[in-house]
Amino acid sequence: MKKYAFLVYHKEYAGFLEKLREIGVVHVAERQGGTIDDDELRGNLQLLQRFKAATEILERHTDGENPLAQNPEMDGFQLLTEIETCVQEKEQLQTRRQSVDKDMDRMAPWGNFSWERIRQLEKAGLELRFFACNSSRFNPEWESQYNAIEVDCFNSTIYFVTVTPKGTDFELDADLLRLGAKTEAELQEEAKEIDAEILAIEDRLKQATSGYDALKKARAEVSERVDLRRVQLNTNVGAEDTVMILEGYCPEENEAALNKMLKKSGVYYMAEVPRKSDDAVPVKLKNNKFSSVFEFIGGLYELPNYHKSDMTPYFAPFYMLFFGFCFADVVYGVILAAVGIYFRKKVREELEPVMRLLTYLGITAFFMGILTGNVGGIALEKIETNWPWYEHLKHYILTADRLFYASLILGAVQIIFGQFVRAITRWKTDGFASTISTWGWLLLVVGGGSVFGLQKGGLLAPEIAKTASYVIFAVAGICIFLLNHPGHNILANIGEGIWDTYEKATGWLSDLLSYIRLFAICIAGAVLAIVFNSLATSLSGDTPVVSQIVMILILAFGHFINIFMAILASFVHPLRLTFVEFYKNAGFVGGGKSYKPFARYKEEFKIL
């Protein structure tokens, strides 16, 4: 990135911002103290949220197979008002419908009757009162005393009405009910009318989908207003309000195009390499075709600090291998890779890297399935044949005990690799002196381990190995305890070296044990697949045709569940190993801000 400072005459500033937006490569720096609180910005942000909600409503009402033809003359802002009116009317009707439903429930025990007939009885001097009580509390004497008539009995509740001369004063051990003015039949009719009105509103919303493009166009216009206002609010003013000062960052690959535009516009500007103390520099990841598909994995944690290294190319091969280790099955791997290949050309552009990632992970699972001998729940190691070549190949299959040690070896390799990455990346950014201690630890672990291995393998004489070990321990000790912070007090360095030794001893051990999860997930998936195969054969019975159908159903359901759980576990646990164990050992420094240039509106799509 290059940091730019633009100085523009105030009367030319609006035109300059338009040109800056058209070229779309400058990430505008936020002014110190943050963006100023502004009524215009706040209003446009609220309007943007309304457009977002309206767009989602239209998307829910769009017929995917037979969408309405778009009307280019429709006004997006008017359509927003129409959609919000529909939503408001629908909510009012739904509230009214709920009230009617409650009234119908209350009137259901009384059936259909005429309120007009009851009013005629009241004119004749009779009074009807409506009661409800538990059947155990109903007193049969009420029938003779107050002409109580049972109307309905539901769930041990008796609904009854009393008929007494008008003005008769009495109290019963029952609930006196106040019924609504409408009968059940009238309420049902009202409910039908409300449902019809809701359907009419739904139809209006479906018709509104013909203005979907217009709505998105209006949303883009508001979004550009928001961006422009933010840039204006992050502009400093100088020289008695006549000079506008704007700062921003531009990727080096776009520097030539930006400079050409600035020279053509006659704008005065300064460009420099961002200082290490500048934490506002945005991050634009640059990875090759293979590593770039893993950028979204790293994005689940956070972006790296601009002045530090991006860990994506370093963790990508390990993540793919760890996923394959957990998901190790030939059939499962083929299915996953097939899904990635099939949908790669069918999904939107933003999802294409995810499909490529699925393909890579599926291929890895396929080869790990061969190494572990798992083929759809069939253990190749258990198959007995008379083929000598097959019996010979079985010796190379990774059995459970081998998988256990393999998971620990992989963990050790990634931890050591992480220390190498830490040493090299810090050397580049902070100088060699800051990495002496790390090199000392690497010499101790890798050098000491190599000497031990060569001696055990008979490739190194014991005396030479002994001398080499002394040299390694001496050099590593000097790096760890004396040169860990060059220029500092020697006693302080020794103290920090002791503390670092304690941290390394406990941290590396716990990190290494954490990799056993790879072994556990692999074994769990394989065992579940075998169990489902066993259930399919034992529960399908002996009835011709039926037994085959039952077997297929059990296999399909069981393996579907197993694949779902295995994908979930194989995705999450390597994430944990990457973000906790590897990032810690590799010295990952986060806090980076995503590069978002001031440009024409482009619809964003977030995968997660």
Residue 608: pLDDT above 60? no
Residue found under tokens 């572990």: 372
State how far the Cα of 392 lies from the Cα of 368, in Å rounded to an integer: 19
Q: What is the DSSP letter of 304?
A: B
Backbone angles phi, psi at 570, to 5 degrees: -70, -25
Q: Of the candidates 361, 367, 322, 323, which has an alpha carbon nearest to the alpha carbon of residue 339?
A: 361
**Which two structure tokens, joined as six digits, stand for 75?**
């006004």
Residue 27: pLDDT above 80? yes
Stretch 220-229: mean pLDDT, rounded? Answer: 94
**Which two structure tokens, joined as six digits, stand for 443?**
């010499």
Question: How many secondary structure helices (H) and strands (E) does the chain include?
Answer: 22, 13
Residue 64: pLDDT above 80? no
State how far the Cα of 33 lies from the Cα of 423, in Å rounded to an integer: 36
Q: What is the pLDDT of residues 257-316, one digit of tens each?
A: 999 999 998 889 999 999 988 888 999 999 999 999 999 899 899 999 999 899 999 999
Q: What is the pLDDT of residues 133-175, one digit of tens each?
A: 999 999 999 999 999 999 999 888 999 999 999 888 999 999 9
pLDDT at position 387 is 86
Q: Which residues of 321-341 are buried (b: 16+ CB within 10 A; e: fewer)?
A: bbbbbbbbbbbbbbbbbeebe
Model confidence at 346, pLDDT cuts 50, 70, 90, reads confident
Model confidence at 458, pLDDT cuts 50, 70, 90, reads confident
Q: Of the candidates 260, 232, 235, 265, which has an alpha carbon nearest to the alpha carbon of residue 247?
A: 235
Q: What is the pLDDT of residues 42-59, one digit of tens each?
A: 999 999 999 999 999 998
Residue 73: pLDDT above 60? yes
Contact status, residue 201 vs residue 90, Cβ threshold 8 Å: yes
The residue type found at 74 is M
State how far the Cα of 388 lies from the Cα of 393, in Å rounded to an integer: 9
374-375 and 243-250 as β-strands: parallel, antiparallel, unpaired? unpaired
pLDDT at position 34 is 64
Backbone angles phi, psi at 109, to 5 degrees: -65, -20
Q: What is the pLDDT of residues 541-565, one digit of tens each?
A: 777 788 888 889 999 999 999 999 9
CB atoms within 10 A of CB 556: 12
State how far the Cα of 316 lies from the Cα of 420, in Å rounded to an integer: 16
State how far the Cα of 12 lies from the Cα of 6, in Å rounded to an integer: 12
State how far the Cα of 591 lies from the Cα of 283, in Å rounded to an integer: 10
Q: What is the pLDDT of residues 398-444, one digit of tens each?
A: 889 999 999 999 999 999 999 999 999 989 888 898 899 999 999 99
Q: What is the pLDDT of residues 83-105, one digit of tens each?
A: 999 999 999 999 999 999 998 88
- Across all residues in the chain, what is the average pLDDT? 90
Global confidence as pTM:
0.78
Q: What whole-number percentage of the chain has pLDDT above 70?
A: 98
pLDDT at position 524 is 93
Q: Of the candidates 151, 137, 150, 67, which has an alpha carbon nearest to the alpha carbon of residue 108?
A: 151
State how far the Cα of 124 lies from the Cα of 162, in Å rounded to an integer: 15
Stretch 119-130: mean pLDDT, rounded? Answer: 92
Stretch 506-525: mean pLDDT, rounded? Answer: 94
CB atoms within 10 A of CB 171: 6
pLDDT at position 605 is 63
Residue 377: pLDDT above 90? no
Contacts of 65 (CB under 8 A, 6+ apart): none
pLDDT at position 324 is 95
Residue 36: pLDDT above 80? no
Environment class of residue 319 by beta-carbon count within 10 Å: exposed (0-12), middle (13-18) or buried (19+)? Answer: buried
Stretch 206-213: mean pLDDT, rounded? Answer: 90
Q: Which span out of 35-44, 97-106, 342-351 was modeled with the highest average pLDDT?
A: 97-106
Cα–Cα separations (whole angstroms), residue 523 to 373, 392, 516, 519, 569: 12, 23, 11, 6, 12
Q: What whole-number percentage of the chain has pLDDT above 90?
A: 67
**Which two structure tokens, joined as six digits, stand for 200?**
């009419």
